[in-house]
Amino acid sequence: MEVGQTLEPLQKEEITHTQLIRYAGASGDFNPIHTVVPFAEAAGLGGVIAHGMLVMGFVGQAIGQWFEVKNLKKFTTRFKAMTRPGERITVQGRIVDENDTCWICEAEAVNEAAEVKVKAFFEIRK
């Protein structure tokens, strides 16, 4: 590990409506904008959108691929764009800095058109 290092991208499967329903049940977030198409359309969203926390979960999965999850100290995400069923997310990341105890990293979840869905920052104990 060293500052400037690029981490191997995590390629996720296409998001499905079923996955959003499954995530709603697992997380307990039953806001119908994520699961009920007519409701999401009435809300002006043009259909259901994925839970931001699901996409953060993808980034968490990538962190666990790159490091030991138990060493994660801080994990921040900014939700930049809505994610919809049919999209395929890739998580890419890099080590941008370090201090005595931690690696400072950034990552983003992007779709196939390189649209950034989630921008993430995290610190992981060495």
Partner 1 sequence: MSTGLKEKVGLKLESYTFRVEKGKIKELAQAIGDLKEEFLSGEAVPPTFPTVIDFWGGGASSSELLNLNMKKVLHGEQEYEYFRGIVPDEEITVHGVIEKAYTKAAMNFYVIRKDYLDKQGKTVLISRSTIIERH
Which part of the chain contacts partner 1 (CB under 8 A), choosing from 1-9, 45-53, 91-99, 106-114?
Answer: 45-53
- Give yes or no for residue 69 binding partner 1 (CB under 8 A): yes
Distance, CA of 123 to CA of 100 (rounded, Å): 12
Contacts of 107 by beta carbon, 8 Å cutoff, 6+ apart: 7, 59, 62, 63, 91, 92, 93, 94, 119, 120, 121, 122
- Give yes or no for residue 116 binding partner 1 (CB under 8 A): no
Which part of the chain contacts partner 1 (CB under 8 A), choosing from 1-9, 46-54, 93-101, 105-113?
Answer: 46-54
- Give yes or no for residue 36 binding partner 1 (CB under 8 A): no
